[in-house]
Amino acid sequence: MSLDAAIARALPGIPRSASPVDQIAYARDLWPRHHLAVTEGRIAEHRPGAIVWPASTAEVAQVVRFCADEGLPLVPFGAGSGVCGGVLPDERTVVLDLKRLSRRRALDRQDPSVEIEAGALGIRFEEELNAEGFTLGHFPSSILCSTVGGWVAARSAGQCSGLYGKIEDMVASLECVVGRGEVVRFERRVRGPDLTPLLIGSEGVLGVVTAARLRLHPAPPARAFAAFSFPSLEAGWDAMREMFQAGLRPAVSRLYDPFDSFMARLGAVRRQRAHGGAHAGAEPTEGAAARAHGARGPGAGAAVLRGLLRAPGLLNQVVDTLGSRVLRGATLILIFEGTARASAEDLARAAAIAGRAGARPLGEEPARHWLAHRYSVSYRQAPVFMAGAFSDTMEVAAPWSRLDALYRAVRGALGRHVFVMAHLSHAYPDGCSIYFTFAGSAPSVAAAEAKYDAAWRAALDAAIDAGGTLSHHHGVGRSKAPRLGAELGLGADVVHALRGVFDPAGVMNPGNLLPREASPAAPRRPLPAPPAAPVLDRDSLLVHAAGAARLGEVERALEQRGLTLALDFGSASPELTVDAWIAAGAPGAADPWSDPVDHLVAGFTARLASGAELAVRPAPRRAVGPDLFALFLGMQGRVGAVTSVHLRAHGASRPRALPTSIQRQPPLGDAEAAWIEAAAVAARGVR
């Protein structure tokens, strides 16, 4: 019996297709490596056996149960806008398109939140919220062609993350279909236990997200705009660091390197001439590679582009030589949201910081122009591929103290293979992400694929060696999966163990996020001993403390530097050890929803009950699979003990709080408790 016939027999009420047209349409996401094959006519070589369109959670459960029983790979599909190879089916694969699950189930005005199904398209969802006077605050560049479920699965970040945080900061609960078709709701608990961080970022390998309850904010009544030119990229990011550590929360803060800033000025001049001299403003974007050489398709311009990109080392060297002297600095775009008064006050503080860093004000227009064209970047790759070249992006992140090393290492590694630009797009008090855009060319598609692969391998290794995280918001997919173990170590095996709980049949998007098999047994280097006394990273405002250290000891060490943990010691005894405090749910810590941009813990080490050691390096808001800290926060030691932790240290300046009345510690039901216990048992047994 064919797969289509088997589905028709088992799931008669659910629309399905095995037509060649649909198989091609659902054969991949937007991983740029796939585009190279298309340029020589190799279209959709990996095609699914069938596509199904369930319209309810119950129907999703039927499909999951059918695939689990039959051992058929199952790939959840939103809008296909992922760029990491998260979709790569074969002839036995069933693609589960969730776009018919797009209903808004409820809107709560009292405790501003919305219950929305996973297939809701981003832009339409946000526009409907705006009509009701609310915003989610989540604006990924792909908002025109991505879904709520895709945001959750990939641990997405939006353009306004500087105020509202990432998607994980917006989830109040998740409805999922897991295992063999069980429907379960996981609630967000500020003090734990909480499994939502394990599903967020799981990229379809632990289950299918069918709906989410998301926190809402009032639509901002006003915005304040500004742009600044800094003498160097480093001067710009030092100013960004000072802004965020001073408690400022610009909704948008994007810092573009000198080359991209230079290309934006050329674009502004062209627009000015086209409009008869009217000022159009700068537009720093990730699309400068396409603009730089007029790449609009086959022809002389395309030939010039291909020729230049075949000597990337020389091209990068020319840009470096010109540097700030000719290219005239890096451009920072700032947009504050809120009341008119608060936005203006915060912008004035930010402008003072920028001025002390040697910045030159550019006025409002560049930021206003950026906002008007904020989604255009998602459509700028096509001209490069049409010209016979290729381009891609890579978003990494690190604490502020390691940002320079990360920038230089990744840029240098990429620069040996491709032409590189960069901008900083998501900043936090403890660190920042760097978004690299690169382009290259080769005489043949096979040679281009080899160059593309070599560039990615070199860049991923450089990011790991420099102490960064492999992904800040695009996720892992298949493009970064081979290096996941280099970042997470034993953590990759923990995710494999969790998959055995949530997907015992092993059918959920096999090959994505994780290699198909757990990492082979190999000698692991023992972790460094926890620090004997708290160690402060002043640049990143992170304090590294042993799990056995007492909270009072850490607080006293910070007080000597004019800093604090900002805990309510009426709720958290200074005599508690850091490990016991975390196991209890970090009592006395501020609700992270009051400042979604911040987080309690940037990295940690732990000893599992099996005796194995786990390390998650400090990084601002990584997107490399599930957040494994959820296995320890509020879990009462079920999985193991935290042996060291990188905690946020705070100065005197605090941000404006974002209030919420959503219940933050909902009761734990029996069904959810059983899943929590099953996850704990699996994780603590990893060796």
As annotated, the active-site residues are 435
Binding residues: 203-209
Contact partners, residue 463, CB within 8 Å, separation at least 6: 396, 406, 409, 410, 469, 470
By the 10 Å C-beta count (0-12 exposed, 13-18 middle, 19+ buried), 543 is classed as buried
How far does CA 74 lie from the centroid of its chain? 23
By the 10 Å C-beta count (0-12 exposed, 13-18 middle, 19+ buried), 465 is classed as middle
Q: In whole angstroms, give the CA distance from residue 152 to residue 56.
A: 18
Contact partners, residue 508, CB within 8 Å, separation at least 6: 74, 76, 204, 205, 206, 207, 208, 499, 502
In contact, 83 and 31? CB cutoff 8 Å: yes
Q: In whole angstroms, give the CA distance from residue 258 to residue 485.
A: 34
Q: Torsions phi, psi of 603, nearest 5?
A: -170, 165
Count, in order, helices (H) and strands (E) of the chain.
23, 23
Residue in the block written with tokens 């892992």: 476
Amino acid, res. 647? L
Q: In whole angstroms, give the CA distance from residue 303 to residue 317.
A: 21
User: From edge to edge, which strands make up the β-sheet containing 208-215?
Assistant: 104-108, 113-117, 208-215, 171-178, 182-187
Q: What DSSP line would sit under 575-625, residue for residue? A: TSBHHHHHHTT-TTSPPGGGSTT--SEEEEEEEETTS-EEEE---SS--SS
Which tokens is 448 given?
A: 């281009």
Binding residues for FAD: 203-209
